[in-house]
Amino acid sequence: MLAAMPPSPSPRPRRAEPPVRARGDACPGALRLHPAADGHLARVRIPAGDLTGHQAQALADAADLLGDGRLSLTSRGNVELRGLPDGCGGHLAELLHDAGLLPSERHERIRNILASPLAGLDMNTPADVRWWARRLDELLCASDSATALSGRFLFVLDDGRGDVAALGGDVTLVAESGSTGDGVTGGGALLRVGDDPAALRIAGPDAPRAALAAAETFLTAAAAGDTGAWRVRELPDGHALSARDVAEGLRAAGIEASYVPDGVRVAEPVVRHADSSAPGIIEGRDGRRALSVLAPLGRLSVAQWRLLATLAADEGSGELRLTPWRGIVVPGLPAAAAAPRLRELAAAGLVTDPSSPWHRIGACTGRPGCAKSLTDVRADVTAAVEAGVPLPPGLPVSTPVPEAAPLYWSGCERRCGHPHGTWIDVLATEAGYRVTVVAPDASRPTPPATATPTAPTAPPATPGTPETRPE
């Protein structure tokens, strides 16, 4: 299957006015735990989704010793631990420190770096942008000014196949043809900010420094706008950030950049790239294989997680990669081991086949973990999948639905963790689930559909601590 080639950013739903933020964001971190309805929640940033075997086992230990025995994957390739008890923060921090997952406590919530999960792995990989990710993380953790960024500010690094470029980055780097991502050979990068379709062409070795400079330019604009903006798209009129504005910041930092008014325009691919959102076996150019699996609804048991970490250590390259599709990639297996190991992962309850009914289905946390949810969403979607009807009735027959559009179930109007681009919205209401299609150019889910008679399985939420918005 060909990965989507793209690449202009997905437009956000239109707003009448940019929000005015009277306080800092409440995003949880590894040190700032959030009191949820099912205990405390920790969100551990995993830049580019890269984990060593030791780090993966440390996260399993944290979930096993302190949490509810499960690990949640987010749409930014991060890990959440839920069900944490009061007073566990020090023990958790010690576990993460020892594993190298907290290189800077001051910066731990801003290390939001999303990268193409298969970069450097598949047969025709365009560029390995993981070097950019590692260097950008180092620069972020060494920057005093970067500590002012919101925990929601996102860097996206696309290797040129177009798999992550449209996933809503505040600063997006797209490797151009011929780039290796490490700046050693030809090519370079296109840099974008927010939804501006224009781009800046920069040299590959300058990409990480340019991304940080763009973020610092945003902070200057946000301070001038005086609305407390957390993200580029929230900047008010008169202070909106464009590629031309960032170009000035790059020049001040000594980085050469040329303006590309038409933004990223990717030609039709002349080679096939593996689809990084699909489960299965990935063939590499070195004769090795990578296994890509998905966690149903983004949740894994400690046993499933340890199985993946052990497989990576014993037969793979010793690392795991987390994907924005709530999946895990195990690189570096011998070709002969790939198929039998994939069968073992399937037997353990992971999604290994693109034809699985769990492929492209997601859901928010729902009850009992989120006090705002109207229902136990995950129980509802599980029952629907097992009944063979993952999409409830109610969508008008005349509504066009792209074949690969993801399906996302939500327990309230916030729709936490929903996909980007076009997706099918299954929203819990007091009257049941309402089904609509959300398109990038729509101001709200359209067209509206009558709520189905399938009523939420839990009563309306009682007052309690509000859940923070998951990724």
Residue 23: the pLDDT is 77
Which helix or strand (DSSP H or E) is residue 94 part of? helix 89-98
Of 187 and 132, the one with more pLDDT: 132
Interval 87-91 mean pLDDT:
96
Query: Does residue 458 contact residue 375 with C-beta atoms inside 8 Å?
Result: yes
Give the rounded percent of residues in the chain with a pLDDT score beyond 90.
76
Task: Give the chain's mean pLDDT.
Answer: 87
Q: 131 CB contacts (<8 Å, ≥6 apart)?
A: 181, 182, 183
Strand partners, 200: 191, 259
- Quote the pLDDT of residue 5: 28
- Give the separation between CA 101 and CA 94, rounded to whole angstroms: 10
Strands 319-323 and 199-203, bridge-based pairing: unpaired
Answer yes or no: is pLDDT of 130 > 60: yes
143-152, 210-219, 448-457, range with the lowest pLDDT: 448-457
**Digit-coded pLDDT (tens) for 25-71:** 889 999 999 999 999 999 999 999 999 999 999 999 999 999 999 99
Alpha helices by DSSP H, listed for 191-263, are 207-225, 243-252
Predicted pLDDT of residue 465: 36
CA separation for the pair 413, 19 (Å, rounded): 17
The pLDDT value recorded for residue 134 is 97
pLDDT band at 178 (very low <50, low <70, confident <90, very high): low
User: How far, in whole angstroms, is CA 241 from its chain's centroid?
Assistant: 23
Q: Mean pLDDT over residues 343-366, rounded?
A: 96
Show the 3-state SS of 321-388.
EEECCCEEEEEEECHHHHHHHHHHHHHCCCECCCCCCCCCEEECCCCCCCCCCCCCHHHHHHHHHHCC
In whole angstroms, give the CA distance from residue 241 to residue 232: 7
Q: What average pLDDT does this structure show over 335-339?
A: 97
Ramachandran class of 25: left when φ > 0, alpha when ψ lies in -120 to 50, beta otherwise: beta
Instruction: Indicate whether 271 pLDDT > 80.
Output: no
What are the C-alpha distances in Å from 153 to residues 111, 162, 357, 466?
Answer: 9, 20, 32, 22
Identify the pLDDT of residue 451.
44
What tens digit of pLDDT does each residue of 424-436 get?
999 999 999 999 9
Residue bearing tokens 């590959």: 204
pLDDT band, residue 200 (cuts 50/70/90):
very high
Q: Mind listing the pLDDT tens digit for each residue in 240-249? A: 999 999 999 9
Q: Which has the higher per-residue pLDDT, 285 or 229? A: 229
Q: Report the half-sphere exposure of 223 (CA within 13 A, side-chain side).
A: 9
The answer to whether the beta carbons of residues 288 and 331 sit under 8 Å apart is yes
- With a pLDDT cut of 70, the percent of the chain lying above it is 86
What CA–CA distance (Å, rounded) separates 12 from 10?
6
H/E run at residue 73? strand 70-73
Predicted confidence (pLDDT) per residue in 274-333, tens digit: 899 999 999 998 899 999 999 999 999 999 999 999 999 999 999 999 999 999 999 999
The per-residue pLDDT for 449 is 39
Question: 139: pLDDT confidence band, cut at 50, 70 and 90?
Answer: very high
Is the pTM for the entire model greater than 0.85?
Answer: yes
Is residue 184 predicted with pLDDT exceeding 90? no
Show Cβ contacts of residue 16 under 8 Å, excluding neighbours closer than 6 positions.
none
Over residues 374-413, the pLDDT tens digits come to 999 999 999 999 999 998 888 887 788 878 899 999 999 9
Residues 117, 359: Cα–Cα separation, whole Å: 17
CA angle in degrees (0–180, nearest 5) for 104-110-116:
110
The Cα–Cα gap between 213 and 224 comes to: 17
